[in-house]
Each structure stands twice: as C-alpha cells, then as structure tokens.
C-alpha cells in the first residue's frame, strides 16, 4: 500500500510518496534506483539489484557534499558490505542502512531540519 508523506520545508527535494517498487520525489514518480540529495539534486542510481551493488555504486556519493548517507536497501533491510563504503568512511561521512520506508521518512525529517543528507534508494527491478 503506498504511503504519502508531507514535508515541513519545500526548498529541498521531498519524498512525497513511496511503494515497494517506486518512489515519488516532489510528486514525480520514479521506478528505478535513485539518489535524492538535500542539496537539491535527484538523479538515477545505476543499480537494479542488491546482488549487483559494489564499492563503485557508493564511492561517488562521497563527493556529493553530504554529512550523512542513508542507504535504502529496498523492501527489506539488507546491509551494505563494509568494503562498499570505504570511500564514505575515508571522508568521515556517516552511513545508515534502512529499508525503503524508513529511509524515505528519515531523509525527509533530516532534510527538513536543514541537514546535509542524501538517500540512495535501491529500487529493484521486478521480474517479468
């Protein structure tokens, strides 16, 4: 069942709704993995399966200007492997892993507080 969210601030990208295989940012629906940065950017994240993730997916996030990266691991909680996160750790950027729903809610709260946060949401391709 889709969840709708509301925001306290409107000068940052806001996750306005989500489901198991999609997310809406500022009312626009996305069905592929996505990076939403409170600094103002929304961009595709080139990964459609947890099993295909690696350091190359997370390293570019270290240059995004965030103090905290939220990893939304999809419909269920699956942790990023420590070696995937080395570039973030080297820059002293915090990383939290949560399922899609928690990551969306947490991003909105922190972005609304003015925190330098981004969320990388894994939206897995559905077979067929």
Question: For 52-84, how does the pLDDT look when each residue is reduced to its tens digit (9 = 90+)?
Answer: 999 999 999 999 999 999 999 998 999 999 999
Residue the block writes with tokens 């409107």:
10
Burial class (CB in 10 A: 0-12, 13-18, 19+), 39: middle
Non-local (6+) Cβ contacts of 72 within 8 A are 98, 99, 100, 102, 103, 104, 119, 120, 121, 122
Listed range (4-13, 51-60, 115-124) with the worst mean pLDDT: 4-13
- Give the pLDDT score at 3: 56
């Amino acid at each position: 069942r889709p969840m709708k969210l509301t925001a306290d601030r409107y000068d940052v990208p806001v996750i306005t709704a989500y489901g198991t295989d999609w997310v809406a940012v500022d009312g626009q629906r996305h069905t592929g993995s996505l990076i939403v940065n409170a600094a103002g950017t929304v961009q595709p994240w080139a990964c459609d399966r947890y099993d295909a993730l690696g350091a190359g997916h997370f390293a570019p996030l270290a240059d995004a200007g965030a103090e905290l990266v939220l990893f939304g691991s999809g419909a269920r909680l699956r942790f990023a492997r420590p070696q995937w996160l080395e570039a973030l750790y080297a820059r002293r950027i915090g990383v939290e892993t949560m399922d899609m729903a928690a990551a969306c809610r947490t991003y909105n709260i922190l972005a609304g507080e003015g925190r330098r946060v981004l969320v990388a949401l894994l939206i897995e391709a559905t077979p067929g």
